[in-house]
Amino acid sequence: MLEFDGLHKAYGSNQVLQGVGFSVAPGQMFGFCGSNGAGKTTTMRIAMGLARADAGEVRWDGRPVDEEVRRRIGYMPEERGLYPKMEVGEQLTYFARLHGMAAGPAARAAVEWADRLGLGERRAERLEKLSLGNQQRVQLAAALVSEPDVLILDEPFSGLDPVGVDSLAEALLEQCRRGVPVVFSSHQLDLVERLCDAVGILARGRIVASGTVPELRAAGAGRQLRVVVPQAPHGWAAELPGVRVVSEQRGDTVLELLPGTDDQQVLAAALATGPVTHFAWREPTLVELFRGAVTATPAEVAA
């Protein structure tokens, strides 16, 4: 179990982290989400010893993370830490050796991960000759090449094309299948929703929502309906009791129904404006859950 327990961090008067805590179980993929400046990178830097927490600690398997533990963590920083004039294969071997692998296994692992992430034909090229997307793949391979016990990745999918995204996603899922806890930050919430077993949403230095996507949906304020009424005037549902308009565009309306609201009354109101071509319950996306969580007031979060 990888545990982040009550992390506090301030830079002067700026309270970056205020009691951040979550855990990632063996074989679990945890999506760490938040707006720019929310504190995601600071949290990861604390785990890797690159920043010091004012309070709280990070634990792996019940013990505080120290230098020995960090040798078993595959880490991908926000600021890429590669050597531009070193060849790809040499670079991956070097990072594997830094994590304690012997020369032969390190070289074989470098070949394997270069091939798996689409860099097989680039192993003899210097990093500076690669595109930014391929440099990103090298950084990812460097985090994976040592067969780590834990993965902490800061925006790993940034800059990757769809093929690269698929390759990395499969690699991370394979790590989870062998019991590795994986935590990664991302602004690509569709990927987080598709890949992650659990999600933590960070805002104002605090975790404002955490759990599986179904759990986050269940904790929402009410049920949602998608109603398509092509001839309805804009705002047709705005005054319906027990209903909040989530979105409305060209007759395609998403409504949130508070507990006790009768969906048949909503249907009747929609039919009064013209033909209804779609009327069905829908699940809010992670993007919608994220917006709701980060815009909630501190009092609402506490409640």
Residue 223 has pLDDT above 90, yes or no: no
Distance CA 28, CA 11 (A): 32
Q: Which helix (H) or strand (E) holds 57?
A: strand 55-60
Residue 302 has pLDDT above 60, yes or no: no
Residues 274/230, Cβ–Cβ less than 8 Å: yes
pLDDT, position 289 = 82
The Cβ of residue 172 has, within 10 Å, a number of other Cβ atoms equal to: 22
Distance CA 103, CA 92 (A): 11
* Sequence ranges of the domains in the chain: 2-216, 221-283
Residues in the chain: 303
pTM across the whole model: 0.81
Residues 41/48, Cβ–Cβ less than 8 Å: no
pLDDT, position 159 = 80
Residue 126 has pLDDT above 90, yes or no: yes
How much is the average pLDDT of 99-104? 91
Q: Does domain 2-216 have CATH number 2.60.40.10?
A: no
pLDDT digits (tens, 9 = 90+) for 135-191: 988 998 999 999 899 999 999 988 888 888 888 899 899 999 999 999 999 888 989
How much is the average pLDDT of 30-38? 91
DSSP code at position 87: B
Residue 287 has pLDDT above 70, yes or no: yes
Side-by-side strand order, sheet with 2-11: 14-24, 2-11, 55-60, 63-64
Q: Which CATH class is domain 221-283?
A: alpha beta
